[in-house]
Amino acid sequence: MIPVRGFEGKTVAVFGLARTGLAAARALVAGGAQVALWDEKPESRAAAEAEGFPLVDLSTADWSRFAALMLSPGVPLTHPAPHWTVDKAHAAGVEIVGDMELFARTVNAASEHRRPKIVAITGTNGKSTTTALIGHVCAQAGRDVRIGGNIGVGVLDLEDMHGGAVYVLEMSSYQLDLTSSLHADVTVILNLSPDHLERHGSMEGYVAAKRRILANQGKGDTAVIGVDDPWGQQICTEITAANRRTIVPISATKAMGRGVYVLNGQLYDATGERAVEVADLNRARSLPGRHNWQNAAAAYAAAKGLGIAADEAAEHLLTFPGLAHRMETVATLGRVRFVNDSKATNADAARQALCSYPKSFWIAGGQAKAGGIEALEDLFPRVAKAYLIGEAAPQFAETLADKAAVAQAGTMDVAVAQAYADASATGQDAVVLLSPACASFDQYADFEARGDAFRSAVQRLAHAAKGAA
């Protein structure tokens, strides 16, 4: 745990008592603050009470006694409308912070010899893989690395800091909205495409939230910026003009005169006088496809920004074991490979997966994002057949009509069984791909639960096939 500094003897209201809220409450108390906790869900309040935390109904509390409101990132700050706690905080002049801001202030208050290095990663797609990949490279290079934030362990639940530590932190746009003083030694903006617009009001609002990751960087810091989309290109141009930090553009689609890029799986470093080929990413079994090449380019550039030697960074990329739910091969039955890409919660993420295979038996659907899968129409010829699940199934079937074969499967078990039967019937090597292009909340608690359901369905098929044999 990282005890939070700056609120000693003061009372902080904490709203939202899931993982982030409870971790923040523990860290605040450990740092000498008092807390007042509340959640609208009785079961969440009960969990906090079981840990001995004081519950205070923030809807009737005296807000003049609070030094800050620690807001969980899932609670709306501005759109579609501010949460009632946000309105109360504004009316009382109480500042609103998130767990990343509490971490940032604690780092900023530490003596120079205790301050760790910080790598902060954001983007629309690939954040978790890139975060884990940077952490892997750092660990293999002998650094004392802690990985967390929006992936795995919440930032305040990580081991306490010291001067030799490296914190590699995934940051969502929700977290960035609540963060103002984080100073990262290395920042990464992988890519930007429309997502979470209901929470940010517009694409401009979404991009503005992502850009907050760059706000406090200066001379000596490194910004790694993906330039394969127009928003990334614009950010790179604008911060290059500001000329304050080292800027490393990355691309998985084109050669560049400056930066780090990938062509046909070959990773090139053009940050020096000339472009040098540093790694063959085709050898990295857990990093297939162009989207993973972008992740690898970002991780390589970030590692160099931390002072890790180029050859060492490139070598460690190739030993990355991969992450669950992100282009994860969960089984191969006969000549059929099952790939779990449940983390693909929007069309752009699904595009990366569909591009990775010449043909796939595609399981898609769930809670649709704006635009559905219309932007993927150019990839429909790669779909051998689509098996649609969840709320989005009728909408997706209409989009796919006359462009690809479709089965309205409804549930994961049915989709997996139908896809396996059809893929097996080809008598050739085939891929059954779960890449939903949707949120999971119509049928599952989160994308992890959805991916686990896919894996379980595949395991049941394997057991049935073994029994039949």
Pairing of strands 144-149, 117-122: unpaired
Give the three-class secondary structure for 438. Answer: strand
Centre a 10 Å sphere on the Cβ of residue 311 and count the other Cβ atoms it contains: 10
Q: Could you please report the per-residue DSSP string of 162-204?
A: -TTEEEEEE--HHHHHT-SS---SEEEE----S--HHHHSSHH
Closest CA to 299 of 192, 172, 190: 190
- In the numeric block, the tokens 């920004």 are attached to 305
Pairing of strands 336-340, 328-333: antiparallel
CA-to-CA separations, 407 to 71, 81, 394, 401, 416, in angstroms, rounded: 42, 38, 10, 11, 11
**Active-site annotation holds for 41:** no
| CB burial string 36-50: b at 16+ within 10 A, e below | bbbbeeeebbebbee
Options 196, 291, 316, 343, the catalytic residue: 196
Options 83, 88, 125, 150, the catalytic residue: 150
The Cα–Cα gap between 252 and 274 comes to 18
- In the numeric block, the tokens 């939202």 are attached to 16
CA-to-CA separations, 324 to 132, 341, 449, in angstroms, rounded: 11, 8, 11
The Cα–Cα gap between 367 and 372 comes to 9
Q: Could you please report the per-residue DSSP string of 68-111?
A: EEEE-TTS-SSSSS--HHHHHHHHHT-EEE-HHHHHHHHHHHS-
Spell out the residues 6+ positions from residue 40 whose beta carbon is closer than 8 angstroms to its own. Answer: none
Pairing of strands 383-389, 406-410: parallel
**Active-site annotation holds for 219:** no
CA-to-CA separations, 82 to 62, 71, 85, 207, 386, in angstroms, rounded: 19, 12, 8, 19, 39
Tokens, residue 393:
């199934």
Options 88, 127, 291, 369, the catalytic residue: 127
- In the numeric block, the tokens 């108390």 are attached to 29
**Active-site annotation holds for 108:** no
The Cα–Cα gap between 306 and 132 comes to 15
Closest CA to 143 of 312, 322, 318: 312
Tokens, residue 86:
């946000």
| Catalytically active residues, by annotation | 127, 150, 196
